[in-house]
Amino acid sequence: MTSEEKGELTDPGEGTGDDPGTTEAATLDAAAAELFPDEHPIFARKELLQIGHIPEGDRIVGRDEEIQSLANQLIDATQGNSPENVIIYGKTGTGKSLVSKYVTRVTKWKAERDSDVSVGTVYIDCAEDTTEAQTIATIASSLNNAGTEISIPPTGLSTGQYYKRLWSVMDALHDVVIVILDEVDMLDDDDKVVMKLTRAEEAGKVDCDIGLIAISNKIQYVEGLDERVKSSFQETELFFPPYDANQLREIMRNRADAFREDVLTDDVIPLCAAFAAQEHGDARRALDILRNAGKLAYERGEEQVTEVHVRDAQDLAEKERFRELIGEAPTQSKAVVLSLALLTISTEEDTFTTGDIFAVYKFICTQVDMDTLSERRVRDLISEQNFLEILYSEPRSRGRGGGRYNAHRLIDDAGLVKETILEDSRFDQLFSDVSEDELGRVIQSRV
Ligand SMILES: Nc1ncnc2c1ncn2[C@@H]1O[C@H](COP(=O)(O)OP(=O)(O)OP(=O)(O)O)[C@@H](O)[C@H]1O
Ligand SMILES: [Mg+2]
């Protein structure tokens, strides 16, 4: 096979008679000098801001209580005994995954150093391994990393066989195993997995002590658990509250060395914190905005990260969030939300009745040649969007004897909503054929 067939890049000087090595190096040198600065002008250690980066313990801010509570539940593991099972819940970006990984790491360290107890720790992202068999196979194979004779094929065994091999691996390698089931609500058979892992020892399947940390950002998850499963956790629930703006600032300041010195202007971190606190105190969101602000500054060839970059990064994040929410929605739903956005943009108001939305929706359907649904169906679509947190509906009263109606308001910025929905080519004809005037007339004359 020639290098070309293998898809390798060939030397531009090849076949010209020049020394190919020198020519190539010179060409690439020149290109590299033009494309890349010697060192990144904005970031010094960008990895500190990457998703998935686990900061050292002293960089975990504002979670001392949660860290200590979790450690209290795991203390028996450090002596080679069975730790408590724990459910951790709290909204997204509140440090649940981070704290769990950190505390289990310290537990393992302490057990091995002081008591010669072997603690196996496994982290499972249940959003990836969604079936019972996959979850058990992943737990078994990651524990088995240390190496036993037991083979754990990624697929092909029955669920029961995977359990058997898991028990053998555990007994062969460890005194205690701590399993973190992150995003446990995404698991199809979460009840079964939790029950089997927490009762394995009692049922005489293994000698090894097993501790389970189940994590969910759905508060309802805990309430909805089967009573038998709940009792496995013996009510050991840890709640992670959202961060406030001060804590978010502290979290970011602790990673400010991701940037070169003097690159961050003073208002950048407070502004990122303010945006993320508005949301619900989500640290991931804060770090994302900060990283993206740095990226924007670099792409624009600027030497410092300023408030402007933060605001633009926030807009991009909002757009991304909205795109995820509406992206896969049926065209009809998009038309309904677009109607609300157009109304909001063209008037002084920000809340509208179902009738208002329906009037503009009908106009859009005719323009883009789409079936027009009944007003009742449109009302249903609106309540679905309400559920998805795209818009917000609240009951109003028309005054004495006037009855009640719903007023609808967009959650995100209307301009951004309009722009995102118009990315769907289905709406291409909307503004090409129609003058904006005609749309304006419909909006002004709505009932
Ligand atoms: N107290 C903290 N100190 C430093 N960094 C933090 C802190 N809390 C969260 N982070 C960082 O914020 C991001 C999100 O945290 P984490 O993944 O632990 O949240 P989570 O509660 O598990 O969210 P989700 O429910 O969405 O999984 C990570 O990059 C994490 O490193
Ligand atoms: Mg998490």
CA distance 380 to 363: 19
Residue 188 lies in a domain: yes
Q: Please provide residue 264's backbone torsions phi and psi, each rounded to the nearest 5 degrees.
A: -80, 125
Which residue CA neighbors atom 31 of ligand 1 most closely? 54
Give the domain-ending residue among 325, 351, 386: 325
Distance, in Å, from the CA atom of 234 to the CA atom of 222, rounded to the nearest integer, reads: 12
The β-bridge partners of 178 are: 121, 211
With left for phi above 0 and alpha for psi between -120 and 50, is residue 226 left, alpha or beta?
beta
- Are residue 272 and residue 377 in the same domain, yes or no? no
Same domain, 346 and 292: no
Residues 257 and 351 in one domain: no
CA proximity to 239, closest of 251, 223, 228, 252: 223
Are 335 and 346 within one domain?
yes
Pocket test for ligand 1, best of 66, 98, 244 (most atoms within 8 A of CB): 98
Domain that holds residue 97: 63-239
Joined tokens for residue 29: 């040198």
User: For ligand 1, atom 13, which residue shows the shortest CA distance?
Assistant: 284
End of a domain among 325, 359, 386?
325
CA atoms of 27 and 244, how far apart (whole Å)? 52
CATH number of the domain that residue 345 is part of = 1.10.10.10
CA of residue 11 to ligand 1 center, whole Å: 46
Closest CA to 245 of 264, 272, 265, 268: 272
In 3D, which of 280, 250, 287 has the Cα closest to residue 61?
250
- Residues 228 and 118 placed together within one structural domain of the fold: yes
User: Which of 184, 51, 192, 167 has the alpha carbon at shortest distance from 128?
Assistant: 184
Q: What is the DSSP string of 12-72?
A: TTTTSSS-HHHHHHHHHHHHHHHHS-SS-SSBS-GGGGSTT----GGG--S-HHHHHHHHH
If asked whether residues 292 and 411 sit together in one domain, one would say no
Report CA(122)–ligand 2 centroid distance (Å): 14
Instruction: Determine the distance separating the centroid of ligand 1 and the alpha carbon of 92, expressed in angstroms.
Output: 8
**pLDDT tens across the length of the chain (447 residues):** 444 444 555 554 444 556 777 888 999 999 999 998 888 999 999 999 987 787 777 778 889 999 999 999 999 999 999 999 999 999 889 999 999 999 999 999 999 999 999 999 999 999 888 889 999 999 999 999 767 788 888 888 999 999 999 999 999 999 999 999 999 988 887 788 988 998 888 888 899 999 999 999 887 777 777 777 777 777 688 999 999 999 999 999 999 999 999 999 999 999 999 999 987 789 999 999 999 999 999 999 999 999 999 999 998 888 888 888 887 788 999 999 999 999 999 988 889 999 999 999 999 999 888 999 999 999 999 988 776 778 888 888 887 777 888 899 998 889 989 999 998 888 988 877 667 788 888 888 875
In a domain, 39, yes or no: no
Ligand in nearest proximity to the CA of 102? 1
Return the pLDDT at 317.
85
The confidence score (pLDDT) of residue 438 equals 83
Q: Number of structural domains, the chain? A: 3
Note whether 261 and 234 are same-domain residues: no
Asked if residue 286 is part of any domain, the answer here is yes
**Residue 35 located in a structural domain:** no
Do 89 and 231 fall into the same domain?
Answer: yes
Any domain includes 229: yes
Q: What gap in Å lies between CA 84 and CA 234, rounded to an integer?
A: 8
Report the chain's terminal Cα–Cα distance, integer Å: 73
In the structure, ligand 2 is a single-atom ion and the residues with CB under 5 Å from it are: 97
Which ligand is closest in space to the CA of residue 241? 1
What is the distance in A from the centroid of ligand 1 to the CA of 143? 25
* Residue 314 within a domain: yes
**Which of 97, 219, 272 maximizes ligand 1 atoms within 8 Å of its Cβ, making it the mutation to test the pocket?**
97
Ligand 1 site, CB within 6 A: 51, 55, 59-63, 92-98, 217, 251, 283-284, 287
Question: What's the CATH number where 132 sits?
Answer: 3.40.50.300
Q: How many CB atoms lie under 10 A from the CB of residue 167?
A: 19
Are residues 414 and 290 part of one domain?
no
Nearest-angstrom CA–CA distance, 230 and 228: 5
46, 79 in Cβ contact below 8 A? no
Using alpha carbons, select from 218, 144, 145, 225 the residue that is nearest to residue 186: 218
The domain boundary, picked from 211, 239, 267, lies at 239
* Domain co-membership, 200 together with 103: yes
CATH number of the CATH domain containing 311: 1.10.8.60
Tell whether 136 is covered by a domain: yes
**In the numeric block, which tokens belong to residue 327?**
């992206």
Query: 234 and 357: one domain?
Result: no
CA 335-336-339 angle, 5° bins:
85
Rounded to an integer, what distance in angstroms lies between the CA atom of residue 343 and that of residue 415?
11
| Residue 52 located in a structural domain | no
Whether residue 258 sits in one domain with residue 150 = no
pLDDT score of 231 = 79
